[in-house]
Amino acid sequence: MPMTIPQLFAALRKAYGPTHWWPGDSSFEIMVGAILTQNTSWRNVEKAIADLKKAGLMSPAAIASANLWELQRAVRSSGFYRQKSRYLRALSRYIVDHYSGDVGQMKRRRMHELRDELVDIPGIGDETADEILLYALGMPSFVVDSYTRRLLKCLGMDHRGTYSEIQSRFEDALGNDAKAFGELHALIVTHGKAVCRKSPHCCSCPIARRCPSRGEH
DNA sequence: ACCCAGGCGTTCT
DNA sequence: AGAACGCATGGG
């Protein structure tokens, strides 16, 4: 019998404790990090964030009007720098044009309407939109990523379905609680980085002691 | 010399 | 709806 989502949450909490996610000095910096970390290690992202700050480019207005070459140079260490510099510009121009460059005004929007606008911005898909909503704006939108699907599969839990279907399962199980959403996703990633890095399964880890297919991998 | 990392957009079938 | 591919740097 596979464990439930609340049971998974409890097991991860016991194993890894509070995570203090998402690291960042401002809501906008968290949005920038969400784009820069796409398929990229956080170590490389930290360097790019530091370089953006050194260049005076950690605000929507600054990035929206930045010299393209300067912007590309600042984010280069995060990889895919031609795409990501374009994505950061698109996000920044959206914030300048729709919210006067003030990220705080975004919090007044209704979440699902805002989400629809975010995913229309080039470079922002389902996962990045939810990271922005959840960690930058404190809204209750659960983040589903590759670690999430991998862990569900490893534990014999239901890992099928679209992004939206998996997201709904977590949101229904956790009760529309932004704090819980943020902490569980952070724990899933923390766990994934700790034990699931090189393998599609993790049956030797503390969480997977209850994995029904343990020993069959 | 590989393999991977806190995805996304495009272009197929 | 789902799979294949390019994008690019830096660490193991």
Query: Are residues A131 and A193 both part of a single domain?
Result: no
Query: Are residues A119 and A192 both part of a single domain?
Result: no
Last residue of a domain, one of A90, A108, A136: A136
Predicted TM-score (pTM) of the model is 0.94
CATH number of the CATH domain containing A123: 1.10.340.30
Q: Is A123 part of any domain?
A: yes
Residue A70 domain boundaries: 27-136
Query: Are residues A93 and A179 both part of a single domain?
Result: no
Q: Is A215 part of any domain?
A: no
Q: Is A37 part of any domain?
A: yes
Query: Are residues A94 and A180 both part of a single domain?
Result: no
Structure confidence at residue A127 (pLDDT):
98
pLDDT in tens, chain A (217 residues): 889 999 999 999 999 989 999 999 999 999 999 999 999 999 999 999 999 999 999 999 999 999 999 999 999 999 999 999 999 999 999 999 999 999 999 999 999 999 999 999 999 999 999 999 999 999 999 999 999 999 999 899 999 999 999 999 999 999 999 999 999 999 999 999 988 554 444 555 667 665 544 443 4
A73 touches strand C (CB under 7 A): no
Q: Is A68 part of any domain?
A: yes
Last residue of a domain, one of A96, A117, A136: A136
A189 touches strand B (CB under 7 A): yes
Q: Which nucleotide is nearest to A163 (CA to C1')?
A: C1
Query: Are residues A35 and A130 both part of a single domain?
Result: yes
Query: Are residues A88 and A150 both part of a single domain?
Result: no
CB A163 within 8 A of CB A126: yes
A142 touches strand B (CB under 7 A): no
The residues, any chain, with a CB within 8 Å of residue A204's CB and separated by 6 or more, are A195
Our count of domains for chain A comes to 2
Cα(A121)–Cα(A94) distance, integer angstroms: 8
Last residue of a domain, one of A80, A102, A136: A136
Nearest alpha carbon to residue A31 among A112, A123, A157, A163? A123
